[in-house]
Homo-oligomer: A and B are copies of this chain.
Amino acid sequence: ISSHAVSCSPQDLLLAAAFVSDAQYNRNIPFKTSPEAVRLYRLYNHWVMRRATYFFIFLNLSLALFEEPAVYPLPFLATSVLEVLCLLVFLGRLIHFAKVTLHNVFWKDTKNICIVVAILLSLTDLAVYGVLRLYGVRSIRWSRIVRPVFLINFAESRQIRRAFRSIRNTLPEITYVFLLFMFSLLMFSLMALKLFGERNLQTAEGLPYFRNYLEIVFDLYVLVTTANSPDVMMPAFDFSSWYALFFIAFVIVNTYIFMSLFLAVVYNNYKKHLKNEIRKLAYMKRRKMVEAFNLLKEQEGEQFVVKEAQWKQLVKLVAPDTSSSHRELLLRISDDEQKGFVDKKSFVQLADLLNIQVVTLRIRRHPLARWAPALYGSAPSRLLRGAVRHRAFVWTYDAIILINAIFIALDEESPYISYAEWVFLALYIIEILLKVYTYEPREFFGKTQFWNWFDTLIIFAALTATILNATLQSTMKYNSQQILDIVFILRVLRLIRIVDSIQRFQVIMNTLINIVPTMLTFGGLTLVVYCVFAIIGMELFHGKIQYFPANSNAPHALECGNPALKDSLFARGRYCKNNFNDFASSFIVLMELTVVNQWHDIPCGPAKLYFIAFHIVMVIIIVKYVFWDDFLSFFVEYSLEKSEVETAIEQKIQELGMGVQEDELQQEQLLDNMESVEHELEGEGGMKAQSKGLVFKIASKRYRTVDALLQRMFEAEIPLEDEGPSFEEILNLSPSSAVPRSPSSESAA
């Protein structure tokens, strides 16, 4: 059947691989198709290049730690050399990108222009600051606030950029809700002024209560965040119980109802923009797969197909680190009837197939079984391995952990208890050794064996720290506080293991792991906002508040070095260390503001505006992320249940008899299962399909974001014949236009 015809050139194969790889990772970069550009493009997308870019982005962001006002001061020359280095790397990355993309596309893309402008601004500012510094003039390093631009705009952080775009899209509508909210706030403040302003009431601190309109507005804004909840009400409530109704109405309207409204508006907007954006991505993916197919296609009877050999070369190029057995599995799915070629319909699915994590469980013999088969297979050894596999082994160690917990809770003073610590450490190490002896080590430390890694790391870190501590103590009669603290923390962390042995908790932990990708995007956004606000805060409030140790004799030590703070709640609460004197402190203050409570005890006027701005930005991000993207994904998953491609793979795995029960398999079960397969092998001498020494398992549905789910949902709606509009059309799609052409006109092609 297979006839090695003229076939395609290596260049075509490389180009096709670039298309498929883009489709797989949902990149929508229209690269040049010359052989040189394709090679450069593959280099551009190489993981080393991408990791390096991230490294320099974070290096650039963390420079703020070492620049004045510094946590760890470095000379100006050192930081500026580092900064120039980072900027050069960014410039290089951008030039690399320009080389592979079409010119008109490159200069149309705002993110490239943003990067160029940011690099120019940073260099100019650095030069001006350096020159002024030589002449002894101190100026402001204002360009530092553009540094997060690199994090947002480098193509690798697509998620964060999309989040920003989507927030920007939501802004106009949010603004109207915000105006309505401000109107409501001003109205309530006016009422409060009329009701309480002339009563001569006093706060608990003896200050005048609700006299000045602007102060009322601020107090009530703080009440919306609930930070000053009963305090702001008490004077009026003491005067007459009925006035409590005013505050209750205020909280219901401005906190609860407006929050709901806000969520509703964000959601409506989400609905409006997301669907089209997803549609664009889906069309782009389909288009790229079709282009790749057209490059590799050969005529076979009446249809065009891709030959098996070509297909395998392509997959090897796109995903070089998949095992050959994995490739074989994918081929068996794509070429269902083993005809030696892959048709268009199956080919188009390749990007999705590659995206499904198939865990290849190699059934390998234990290294000891190979090196010392007699010893490893002896009766005592088998008994030992049987004992370790027994449920009672897990229970024994659960009991040991519980006893350990009691010992930790007891006092440290008695020498017996510190000896017990050594006993426990020894027991845990023995457990790990026994498990490694029983299970195949490479499986035990497999990529997905989170808990095994966790246990081993914790135990060995604890061992190292304890030994280090004991050595220091006995030889130098000196207790290092840092090491002791680490020993304490590691000792307590060990107890987490108990969670792993309870079935129900494991399921919950899996749910938790599902939330990770959203959390990462959320973390990225937060980082950007924190960096910008921390740098602004440092410029505005640096040195305004100082921290003195408790027994300091400095003037105004009790007022944080600022006479204006005398008798303020801020000083009385001993908040002096909450200041903007360096980057790390600023981050901690912003963290406290994110948590919201007590943020209003801040004295001066402009600071209020700064804090309100930060609060509004964080609320928008939290609402957008923690609520929508995260929990919508559950709902979308509900309407999607299981994607078709995934089911096809599972079916094939089962058909080939290489399946391990899918999904939420317990680690123990999995290992047991493997063991039983191994026994079977030993017994039957490898006659079955399992003889290949392979078992496949589809990784549980981790790392699913709403975007991915919605995209799949939409892809299911595109008929297979529909190749989507051309690249130019897709790129020019306005976010508000629906499907660019009617699918019916397309399906005729």
Contact = CB atoms under 8 A, between A and B. Distances in A.
A512 B177 CA distance: 11
Contact of A226 (B193, B255, B493, B596): B596
A470 interface: no
Interface string A572-609: 11110110000011001001100111100000000000
A260 interface: yes
A712 B257 CA distance: 27
A264 B519 CA distance: 14
Interface string A506-518: 0010011011000
Contact of A187 (B241, B496, B550): B496
A597 B228 CA distance: 7
B489 A195 contact: yes
Contacts of A191: 488-489, 492
A180 B495 CA distance: 12
A371 interface: no
Interface stretch (A152-160, A230-238, A355-363): A230-238
Contacts of A514: 264
B234 A573 contact: yes
Contacts of A183: 498-499
A226 B511 contact: no
A499 B631 CA distance: 33
Contacts of A241: 577, 584-585, 588
A508 B488 CA distance: 54
Interface in A172-200: 176-177, 179-180, 183, 187, 190-191, 193-195
Interface stretch (A2-10, A36-44, A265-273, A338-346): A265-273
B632 A635 contact: yes
A634 interface: yes
B238 A492 contact: no
A433 interface: no
A525 B443 CA distance: 51
A187 B264 CA distance: 38
A409 interface: yes
A514 B519 CA distance: 31
A437 interface: no
A494 to B, nearest CB: 10
A373 to B, nearest CB: 44
A585 B408 CA distance: 44
B592 A492 contact: no
Contacts of A260: 512, 515, 519, 626, 630
A190 B412 CA distance: 13
A436 interface: no
A244 interface: yes
A499 B244 contact: no
A559 to B, nearest CB: 14
B596 A229 contact: yes
Nearest to A485: B195
Nearest to A601: B230
Interface of A: 176-177, 179-180, 183, 187, 190-191, 193-195, 204, 213, 226-231, 233-235, 237-238, 241, 244, 248, 251, 255-257, 259-261, 263-265, 267-268, 271, 405, 408-409, 412, 485, 488-489, 491-493, 495-496, 498-499, 504-505, 508, 511-512, 514-515, 519, 547, 549-550, 572-575, 577-578, 584-585, 588, 591-592, 595-598, 626-627, 630-632, 634-635, 638-639
12 contacts: A179-B505, A180-B508, A187-B493, A191-B488, A194-B412, A194-B489, A195-B485, A229-B596, A234-B573, A234-B577, A257-B512, A267-B634
